[in-house]
């Protein structure tokens, strides 16, 4: 049995942290014992509870931000006391995890990193990054596109880089809809979406941030409504772009056709009550939310950026369009809105693709093979 320390210095829980949890949940417990180390930030409480429900040990470091040097000293103690065989640092920001690298190097244990969203750093941070990568045994990226970015930034370490796509807890997602009926769908549409039963629902789930390209989606709506008046756009998520989006909705007089729903809990049921999923991102490391929509299953319209083309097969599971292109976005949505058979076909292909390629169990198995290859090399 080998002890694997999963470490993050993130101040909040997001997509990268969900993947940490799923990795720990599905890792082969007969071979590995995962342990989570993270800060005492209140925003991580729920994440830690989820780990503990799976009987995975959690060690909260007595620090509240990633900059405190106490990370280093606490990690050194954990590595020694827990007899850690390998540290897996989840790099949620290209410059994160610095004390994890230093502590592992000091203790002379192997390091694996997952680079969730790589991009160019400033000179000082990049210099330190190059130093830390010299200590790493394996660098995992969540998409082929991210691997290309890293190989361009750090060609010296190209041979260390491997791709493992993010995964979904397929059983959990499907369990959420076991008792979901047509009457439940009708209720969601009427009460939550404030729409009629026959209204076609286009849904997006995203942080309300400029990089998600939501303004282009809003700007595409007038042309869609002119041809298909019985449609509604549901925007699920929150963020600092909300005031700008609200202003844009008012400018185009779209109050009856767009709802900024904010953060929501019962995402599977909301997606199941939708007809089309869209993600107009300008930059996207992977796009896990798309796999969630495809599992429902829904046809997808998304931008051809980051890891998205590795999920959506153009003209088979959905349509891929250029980023920041309102006309292309509108055209793709018009095609799906006007063609129910194509929506059904795309949705069926989407479901099959997710089941085959984006299972969290498969993801954990691939990580387990990498741990084995390093520990027993």
Block means of pLDDT (10 residues each) for the chain, length 377 residues?
Answer: 96 92 98 97 96 98 90 97 98 94 97 95 94 96 96 97 98 95 97 97 97 98 97 97 98 97 96 98 95 98 97 98 98 98 98 98 98 93
For residue 1, CA distances in Å to 34, 77, 103, 280, 374 come to 10, 20, 22, 44, 14
What DSSP designation does 148 have? H
Separation CA 16–CA 21 (nearest Å)? 9
User: Cα-Cα-Cα-Cα dihedral of 58, 60, 61, 63, to 10°?
Assistant: 150
**Do the domains spanning 2-167+359-375 and 170-357 agree at the CATH topology level?**
yes
Q: What is the longest distance spanned by two Cα atoms in the chain? A: 66
Overall size of the chain counted in residues? 377
Which class is 2-167+359-375 in CATH? alpha beta
CATH T-level topology, domain 170-357:
Rossmann fold (3.40.50)
Contact (Cβ atoms closer than 8 angstroms) between residue 38 and residue 58: yes
Element (H, E) at 367: helix 360-375
Contact (Cβ atoms closer than 8 angstroms) between residue 232 and residue 263: no
Separation CA 189–CA 325 (nearest Å)? 29
Domain boundaries, the chain: 2-167+359-375, 170-357
Whole-number pLDDT of residue 186: 97
In which residue are the tokens 């990054």 written? 129
Query: Among 307, 55, 291, which Cα is nearest to 173's?
Result: 291
Query: Among 289, 286, 302, which Cα is nearest to 346's?
Result: 302
Q: What is the pTM of this model?
A: 0.94
Separation CA 178–CA 89 (nearest Å)? 36
Whole-number pLDDT of residue 147: 97
Distance of CA 205 to the CA centre of its chain: 11
Whole-number pLDDT of residue 207: 95
Q: To 10 degrees, what angle do helices 15-26 and 288-295 make? A: 60
Whole-number pLDDT of residue 64: 83
């Amino acid at each position: 049995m080998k002890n694997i320390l999963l470490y993050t210095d993130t101040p909040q829980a997001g997509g990268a942290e969900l993947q940490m949890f799923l990795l720990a949940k599905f890792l082969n417990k007969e071979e590995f014992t995962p342990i989570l180390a993270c800060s005492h930030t209140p925003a991580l409480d729920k994440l830690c509870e989820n780990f503990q429900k799976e009987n995975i040990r959690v060690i909260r470091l007595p620090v509240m931000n990633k900059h405190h040097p106490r990370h280093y000293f606490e990690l050194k103690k954990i590595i020694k006391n827990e007899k850690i065989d390998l540290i897996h640092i989840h790099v949620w920001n290209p410059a994160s995890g610095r004390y994890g690298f230093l502590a592992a190097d000091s203790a002379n244990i192997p390091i694996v990193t997952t680079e969730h969203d790589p991009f160019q750093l400033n000179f000082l941070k990049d210099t330190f990054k190059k130093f830390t990568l010299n200590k790493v045994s394996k660098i995992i990226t969540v998409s082929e596109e991210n691997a290309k970015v890293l190989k361009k930034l750090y060609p010296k370490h190209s041979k260390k880089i491997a791709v493992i796509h993010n995964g979904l807890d397929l059983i959990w997602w499907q369990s959420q809809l076991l008792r979901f009926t047509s009457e439940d769908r009708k209720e969601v549409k009427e009460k939550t979406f404030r729409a009629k039963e026959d209204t076609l629902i286009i849904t997006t789930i995203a942080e309300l941030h400029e990089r998600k390209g939501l303004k282009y989606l809003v700007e595409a709506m007038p042309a869609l409504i002119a041809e298909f008046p019985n449609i509604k756009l549901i925007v699920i998520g929150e963020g600092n772009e909300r005031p700008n989006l609200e202003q844009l909705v008012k400018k185009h007089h779209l109050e009856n056709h767009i709802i900024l729903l904010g953060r929501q809990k019962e995402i599977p049921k909301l997606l199941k009550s939708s007809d089309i999923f869209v993600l107009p991102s300008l930059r996207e490391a992977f796009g896990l939310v798309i796999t969630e929509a495809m599992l429902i299953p829904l046809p997808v319209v998304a931008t051809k950026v980051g890891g998205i083309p590795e999920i959506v097969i153009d003209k088979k599971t959905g349509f891929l369009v250029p980023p920041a292109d309102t006309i292309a976005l509108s055209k793709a949505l018009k095609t799906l809105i006007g063609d129910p058979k194509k929506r059904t076909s795309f949705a069926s292909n989407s479901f099959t693709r997710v089941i085959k390629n984006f299972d969290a169990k498969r993801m954990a198995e691939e990580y387990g093979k990498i741990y084995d290859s390093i520990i027993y090399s």
